[in-house]
Amino acid sequence: MSTHSEVVAVPTARTAGAAVRALWIAGAVLVAAAAYYFVGIDQGVVSVFGSDTHIHEMMHDGRHMLGFPCH
């Protein structure tokens, strides 16, 4: 009489935690990239919003305070 035992892969808290951490890291990178764009790059000519300069003017003082060139 032989018995066969099957190995079943069950997700553990460790693997689920890694997936959650990966999502948090991806979200943080996305938010950081958006913040960098709006503060450091958006200057009208290369703006994804066309010739609208509302974002540029809103971030203007912060841009200078952080040392980003402007004008």
pLDDT in tens, 2-28: 566 777 766 665 667 888 899 999 999
Positive or negative torsion for Cα 30, 35, 40, 43: positive
Average pLDDT, the chain: 76
Position 32 in a domain: yes
Question: Which residues constitute the domain of residue 57?
Answer: 14-65
Position 21 in a domain: yes
Q: What is the predicted pLDDT for the residue at 35?
A: 83
48: confidence class by pLDDT, cuts 50, 70, 90: low
Position 4 in a domain: no
Q: Mention every residue, 6+ apart, whose C-beta is less than 8 A from residue 68.
A: 39, 40
CB 40 within 8 A of CB 66: yes
Position 60 in a domain: yes
